[in-house]
Amino acid sequence: MKKGYGVVNKIGVGYASVTELEKKYVLDALENQRLSQGKYVAEFEKRFSGMHGQKYGVMCNSGTSALHLALETLKELDGWDENTEVIVPAITFIATSNACLHAGLKVVFADVDPLTYNIDPDEIEKHITKNTKCIIPVHTFGMPCDMNRICAVAKKHGLRIIEDCAEAHFASLGGKPVGSFSDISAFSTYVAHTITTGVGGIVCTNSRDCVEILRSLVAHGRACTCERCIASDGKTVCQKRMQTEMDRRFTFVRLGYSYRVGEIEGALGLAQLERKDEIIDAHHRNAELLTEGLTPYENLLQLPREPEKIRHTYMMYPILIKKESGIKRNDLVHFLEKHQIETRPMLPLLNQPIYRKIFGDLEKDYSVARYIDQHGFYIGCHHGLKEEDISYIVQVIKEYVSR
């Protein structure tokens, strides 16, 4: 470590805290000898969806599965086929577009806004064809998309919306939470996400038709999908279960998946929800400290900002090197890594080897995404960081850019 800095542990981009509350709920699940989903999963689904303005929640094993379930649900309801096109941003984690491919749909990319890194509504319109049926806006890094404009585009062209809220738990636009602007929304609760269940995800919707299909798909395509059957404690029996010759829980009406989670994940999630303000406030505070410390270098670095009426939740802290700075992204991130500050590229997608193989050289057609791919990265601002960690990050960046 460089002289004057002191010794620091690796400052990671993510963090998951387990307190006595999480331990209490998990221990209760274990003592009840209930590992398959039960009361904790059911309560987590109810609370999480309600906090995001939706009536129903279906917990599953990942945010990617949540997106896949959402797509398969609308595919069934609307009769989509292999020619159906879904528009996704050209900057996002690969799970967004992979879910479309796994659902047998065609992916169409739209370029992103150079300031927010979210899908650009004007770019969406450029890519709409007669086969377009859905838009998946991604609230990148916790920054809400321009959902008012996106909803207007969707209404104009008769399109469905699935919000990818994996990185944006409890973010909001004009006081309205993300996840509540769309037909279905998908969240990830993987380790180091704002609210974590270790592994996991959740799909939220206001539609009874959607939730019945979602509950079936998540559990192999079973016929009986009511909450009492899914989370039965063995002591209560749903009256609908035995209305046919075979228990409806073991009657399968569609090709589903084994995407379920258990009570331990539900218990962790419920405890995390009770701590959400503490967690999110810490993210916000650390992001503000980073911005305050790095503002003198805004002629070189583009920093994230929180526009009026937007609640950014800063799952991570993105930084984009400006053209006129002369700074080489790789040199800077190597310098940060050398000084125990973890970095990640800013969600490059179109230049991934597998996508170059599938789609060819698309990146050249997306000027904003291409620049971000070459000049963007992110660092952590999570609730595990202390003020001295933030000061250290600022010091190290200051040393590099002052050369």
pLDDT tens for each residue of 135-164: 999 999 999 999 999 999 999 999 999 999
Over residues 9-14, the mean pLDDT reads: 93
The label of the residue with tokens 């395509």 reads 221
For residue 144, the model assigns a pLDDT of 98
**Per-domain residue ranges of the chain:** 20-274, 276-401
CATH of domain 276-401: 3.90.1150.10
Q: Are 201 and 169 in contact (CB under 8 A)?
A: no
Cα separation of 278 and 275, whole Å?
Answer: 5
- pTM, two decimal places: 0.93
Report how far apart, in Å, the C-alpha atoms of 13 and of each of 19, 108, 112 are: 20, 30, 23
For residue 33, the model assigns a pLDDT of 87
The percentage of residues in the chain with a pLDDT greater than 70, rounded to a whole number, is: 92
The pair phi, psi for residue 187, each rounded to 5°, is -125, 150
Cα separation of 207 and 229, whole Å?
Answer: 19
pLDDT by residue (tens digit) across 251-281? 889 999 999 999 999 999 999 999 999 999 9
pLDDT by residue (tens digit) across 311-368? 999 999 999 999 999 999 999 999 999 999 999 999 999 999 999 999 999 999 999 9
Domain 20-274, CATH among 3.40.190.10, 3.40.50.11540, 3.40.50.1820, 3.40.640.10: 3.40.640.10
Residue 239 CB burial class (10 angstroms; 0-12, 13-18, ≥19): exposed
Residue 74 CB burial class (10 angstroms; 0-12, 13-18, ≥19): buried
The pair phi, psi for residue 11, each rounded to 5°, is -95, 105
The pair phi, psi for residue 336, each rounded to 5°, is -65, -45
Cα separation of 34 and 386, whole Å?
Answer: 37
Cα separation of 261 and 270, whole Å?
Answer: 14
Q: Are 118 and 163 in contact (CB under 8 A)?
A: no
Q: Are 9 and 374 in contact (CB under 8 A)?
A: no
3-state DSSP of 187-208? EECCCCCCCCCCCCEEEEECCH
**Residue 76 CA neighbour count, 13 Å, CB half:** 18
With b meaning 16 or more CB within 10 Å and e meaning fewer, what string describes 8-42? eeebbbbbbeeeeebeebbeebeeeebeebbbbbb
